[in-house]
Amino acid sequence: MGRKAFVNDLRDAALPGRFAQVSDVTGGDDDGTIKFMFQSLAFSVEEIAIDAMVSDVSDYPSDHSYFLFTTSENAPSAVNEAVQSVQPSVSGRSISQMLLEVSTAINHALLGKDKPDGDPESSDAIDEDDPLIEDDSDADMWSTHSPTSEKPTEAAFKDGGSRPILEREVKARIRSDLRLVKEAGFKIGVLGNLEQSGIVCVSVRIAKLGISEEALKAWGLKRNHYLIFLIRYGNGYKNIEDVKEETKSGISRTEFRVALCQQYKPTITEATNAFSQLSGQSKASNVVEQGQASSRSAAQTAVGTLEPLFIGRPLNELLTRLPAIIKYRIACSYSWTGAELFFNEIQSKAATSIDVTQASFNVSDPPVSQALPKMVTADHIGETLLPELMSFPLAAMQFVLRHFVRCTDFCLVCHCKIDTNFEALKPYVCSKPLCLFQYMALGFGPSIEWEILSQPYVVDLLVSFCYASAQGRRLKDFPIGIDLKVPILPQPAPTQITGYHHYHRPPLSVPASAPSTPATRFVPRPIPSRFDSTARELLLIDRKAPGPLKIGDWLVVTATCFEGAYHARVEENFFPTIRLGELIYVSGVARMPSDSGISNISASVGLVDAEVFVYDQSFDELSDHDKQSSITCILDTLPDVMQMKAFLESHPQDPSLKRFRHRISDTALNLLRWIIASNRSCIMQVDRPSSSASSAGGEDRVSGMEEWMQFRFAQGAPDKEQRFMDCVKEVSTRLQLGNYPTLFAWHGSPLPNWHSIVREGLHFNDTLHGRAYGHGVYMSPHATTSIGYSGMGYYSADPSTSISNNWRNSKLCVSSALALNEVINAPNEFVHRNPHYVVNQIDWIQARYLFVKANNRELGQNFGDSTPPKHVYRQDPKHVALGVHGQPVIIPITAISKSRRPTAVTSPLPLGNKKVKVTGSATQEQAEKSEDDAASMITDASDIAILLSDDEDEDAVSPPPNHSRKGDAQPIPQTEPVKTDFVPGQLQASTLPLLAPPSSASTSATKALLTTLKQTLHIQNTTPLHELGWYINEDLITNMYQWIVEMHSFEPSLPLAQDMKSAGLRSIILEMRFSSNFPISPPFVRVIRPRFLPFMHGGGGHVTAGGALCMELLTNSGWSPVSSVESVLLQVRLAMSSLDPKPARLMCTGRLGVGPVGGKRSAGPARGGYGDAAAGGEYSVGEAVEAYKRACAIHGWEVPKEFDDFLKA
Strands 1153-1156 and 1147-1150: antiparallel
CA distances from 406 to 402, 410, 480, 555, 720 (A): 6, 7, 31, 45, 20
Burial of 1160 (0-12, 13-18, 19+ CB in 10 A): exposed
Cα distance between residue 725 and residue 844, in whole Å: 9
* Exposure string for 153-190, b = 16+ CB within 10 A, e = fewer: bbbbbbeeeeebebbeebbebbbebbbbbbebebbbbb
Q: What is the DSSP letter of 234?
A: B
CA distances from 421 to 217, 557, 742 (A): 22, 53, 20
Residue 148 in 3-state DSSP? helix
Q: What is the DSSP letter of 369?
A: -
H/E segment holding residue 563: strand 562-574
Residue 1041 in 3-state DSSP? coil
Cα distance between residue 1049 and residue 1054, in whole Å: 11
H/E segment holding residue 433: helix 433-441
From 81, 53, 50, select the one nearest 66 (Cα to Cα). 53
Q: Give, in degrees to the nearest 5, the angle at Cα 912 between 906 and 914.
A: 45
H/E segment holding residue 50: strand 45-54
For the chain, count helices (H), then strands (E). 33, 33
CA 906 to chain centre: 29
CB atoms closer than 10 angstroms to residue 1161 = 17
Active site residue: 435, 466, 1110, 1192, which one? 1110
CA atoms within 13 A on the CB side of 867: 7
Q: Which amino acid is at 737?
A: L
- Annotated catalytic, 1110? yes
For 128: left if phi > 0, alpha if psi spans -120 to 50, otherwise beta; the answer is alpha
Biggest distance spanned by C-alpha atoms of the chain: 103
User: Which residues, 6 or more positions from 153, have their beta carbon under 8 angstroms from its beta carbon?
Assistant: 132, 134, 164, 166, 167
* Exposure string for 447-466, b = 16+ CB within 10 A, e = fewer: bbbbbbbbbbbbbbbbbbbb
* Exposure string for 995-1021, b = 16+ CB within 10 A, e = fewer: eeebeebeebbbebbeebbebbbbbbb
For 860: left if phi > 0, alpha if psi spans -120 to 50, otherwise beta; the answer is left
Reduce the secondary structure of 727-739 to three states and give it as a string.
Answer: HHHHHHHHHCCCC
* Exposure string for 368-383, b = 16+ CB within 10 A, e = fewer: eeebbbebbbeebbbe
Cα distance between residue 1206 and residue 1107, in whole Å: 15
What angle, rounded to 10 degrees, do the helices at 392-405 and 165-183 form?
A: 30
CB atoms closer than 10 angstroms to residue 950 = 7
**Cβ atoms of residues 309 and 289 within 8 Å:** yes
User: Which residues, 6 or more positions from 1195, have their beta carbon under 8 angstroms from its beta carbon?
Assistant: 1110, 1112
Cα distance between residue 1020 and residue 20, in whole Å: 47
User: Which residues, 6 or more positions from 1021, have their beta carbon under 8 angstroms from its beta carbon?
Assistant: 962, 963, 964, 966, 969
- The residues annotated as belonging to the active site are 1110
